[in-house]
Homo-oligomer: A and B are copies of this chain.
Amino acid sequence: MAQMYDRVALIGLGLIASSMFWAIKRAGLAGEVTGYARSAATRQTARDIGLCDRICDTAIQAVEGADLVVLCVPVGVMGAVAEEIAGALKPGATVTDVGSVKRDVIEQVAPHLPGDVHFIPGHPLAGTEHSGPTSGFAELFDNRWCLLVPVEGADRGAVAQLRAFWEGLGSNVEEMDPDHHDLVLAVTSHAPHLIAYTMVGVADDLRRVTDSEVIKYSAAGFRDFTRIAASDPTMWRDVFLTNKEATLEILGRFTEELFALQRAIRTGDGDHLHAYFTRTRAIRRGIIEAGQDTDAPDFGRGKRKP
């Protein structure tokens, strides 16, 4: 793969940024990759494991001269970081992000950026329940979607270059409108995460069943929920606070539907339950056929760092 940017700056060094670094190196997509994290301990860890070609002690140093700046911080602090680096951005540079919410990030970041910088928000649909600079691996984005959400009037050349960069990281790329993005993600990711968090919390609260029993006899359903509910608390707090409307809308629909199923259980309406469960089974088949998951042992989560 050809080099796409002379210098890439990764701001925030968690799972996504560290995976991006290893994937950039795998494909030779950048001349130099600089990195910055707010915490001195994270910067030290990054230096220790060879994460980034150069770790900087300030965000400003990291973005100086960069052709591509990737904001990999929690959604709640995107605006503050943009404000901090705005004055140091190279004219003609592209700024992107990897946040799970797009409308709010655009409103936070866009006002701070100079007019000679291309702002092209993005969202790679990839992750694990692990976080931090040591959790990354080069294969994270392979065959996963990356959604680009260019603001109106975005430079098409810059968008095409960023698309090629994400394809070089292994992703399939599509463009989407920010509000539609936020609704789709509320359905496929944000609401399911909140629901999983809730169920795991309920299990922990129940007096008559001990935690150790819950843990010991954790059958398939609950085990998957705990995996989801182990995701980074700060990231997810920010997702819910910044994609409030769409998440609450989906949760409202969810509650309505759950009440209907509860009523079917209470009244013994087996036909209703059976028909519902048959329909959901078909949806799963669609997902496997669409290639977003596999029938194989790792359930499509892909390779992980050894």
Residues of A bordering B, CB below 8 Å: 76, 125, 127-129, 145, 147, 180, 183-185, 187-206, 208-209, 211-231, 233-234, 236-238, 240-241, 244, 247-248, 250-251, 253-255, 257-258, 261-262, 265-266, 268, 270, 273-274, 276-281, 283-287, 290, 292-293, 296-301, 303-304
Copies of this chain present in the complex amount to 2
| Between-chain CB contacts (< 8 Å), 16 pairs | A145-B217, A183-B208, A189-B219, A193-B221, A194-B261, A203-B283, A211-B283, A218-B293, A220-B228, A223-B299, A224-B224, A224-B228, A226-B280, A226-B287, A297-B301, A299-B301
Decide if A241 touches B188 in the complex (CB within 8 Å).
Answer: no
What's the nearest-Cβ distance from chain B to residue A92, in Å?
Answer: 31
Decide if B280 touches A200 in the complex (CB within 8 Å).
Answer: yes
Main secondary structure of the interface of A (DSSP, over half): helix
The residue in chain B whose Cβ has the minimal distance to the Cβ of A253 is: B202
Alpha-carbon distance A270/B209, docked complex (angstroms): 29
Decide if B209 touches A183 in the complex (CB within 8 Å).
Answer: yes
What's the nearest-Cβ distance from chain B to residue A176, in Å?
Answer: 9
What's the nearest-Cβ distance from chain B to residue A240, in Å?
Answer: 5
Decide if A189 touches B220 in the complex (CB within 8 Å).
Answer: yes
Alpha-carbon distance A305/B237, docked complex (angstroms): 40
Decide if B145 touches A198 in the complex (CB within 8 Å).
Answer: no
